[in-house]
Each structure stands twice: as structure tokens, then as C-alpha cells.
Amino acid sequence: MRALNELLEEAYRRGYEYLARWRACAPTVFAAVMDTLGYDEDPIVREAWKATIGLAGGTGNMSLGTCGAMAGAAAAISFSFGFTREDVERDVVKVLTVNRAVAEVGEKMKEKYGGIRCVDVQFHNWGKAYILSNPKALMEFLGMSKNGRAMPECQRVTGDLTRWAVEVIIKCNPGFIRRRDAGL
């Protein structure tokens, strides 16, 4: 149990700290989950990371879609199942299996942040929403950060989503964990 708690704390810390690197929630959570589970140098994971960039800011910074942290968590969970196109063509129920795992994280997010959309999280954190594709709104949003750093409110979201995604992966796909020191 102690090893699990330590791993989940590490996941949160990585999710929190990585946001300062890219200031984009989807690639932050995806990378933090993968790094926590031992995939930090995996070339396939590094290639897949590229596909998460446009999911940030409620998809393309439009704020109206799924929060990028949730999208990054969904991408990491989906990746952990390892289903190929052929696997899904043979058995479409595999999609439902992945979706159940992703929804588990989504439910936790809804409970804590009031929803899974970027605007839901913004309302939870600041009492208003910013359509980040609007230059004026983006400047106002960025102006809330100190010295151009990631905002702690956003870092807590990426920390939580990383922790929850790692927890679901451990539960659903324990064989996906590559780290030998995880002690699980």
C-alpha cells in the first residue's frame, strides 16, 4: 500500500510540475502519466505525445471542449490498453472497456471540478471562463499568472488528473507498469 501511495504522490507531483514546462495541460498529463509508469524514454510514447498538443485548452485553446488534462489522461489510459485497429475491428467491446476506464477518471473530475470541459474547470477555479482562442481573453488569462509561470490552479488540475489516470491504469492494466522500483 505504501508503494502505491508513493507512486500516486509522484504522479501528482509530475503532473503539477510538468505544466511549467509546456503550459499545455494535455501533453503535460500524458507525459507525466507515462513517465511515472516508466515510459519516459520510450520512442513510441514520445511520438504519441505529439498528438496531445492540440488537445490543450479545451481542444485547440477553444475552451469549449474537454479539458486538456482530461484529454491527456484519456490518451494515456487508452494507450495503456495497447489495442490495435485490428483488435477493435475483431472486438468492438474493447472500445467500451477503454471508455469505462476513462469515464472513471472523468467522474472524479466532475465531482471535484464541476465537469470535464475546460470552461467547467475555469468556472470552478475563477468563477468565470476564458475562451482562450480569443486574443483578449487569452491575454487576460495569462495575466493571472505570476511572471509567466503556470498557475497553481491549473497545476492542481494536471496533478489530480495524472494521479487518477495512473490509479486507473494500475487497476485496469497492472502489466503496463514498466518501472521495476514501483513495488506493485
Q: What is the DSSP string of the chain?
A: -HHHHHHHHHHHHHHHHHHHHH--HHHHHHHHHHHHTT-TT-HHHHHHHGGGGGGTTTTTT-SSSB-HHHHHHHHHHHHHH---HHHHHH-THHHHHHHHHHHHHHHHHHHHHS-SBHHHHHHHHHSS---TTSHHHHHHHHHTSSTTPPPHHHHHHHHHHHHHHHHHHHHH-GGG---GGG--
Q: Per-residue pLDDT tens for 99-141? A: 999 999 999 999 999 999 999 999 999 999 999 999 999 999 9
Confidence of residue 181 (pLDDT cuts 50, 70, 90): confident
Q: Per-residue pLDDT tens for 53-69? A: 999 999 999 999 999 99
The residue ranking higher by pLDDT, 164 or 149, is 164
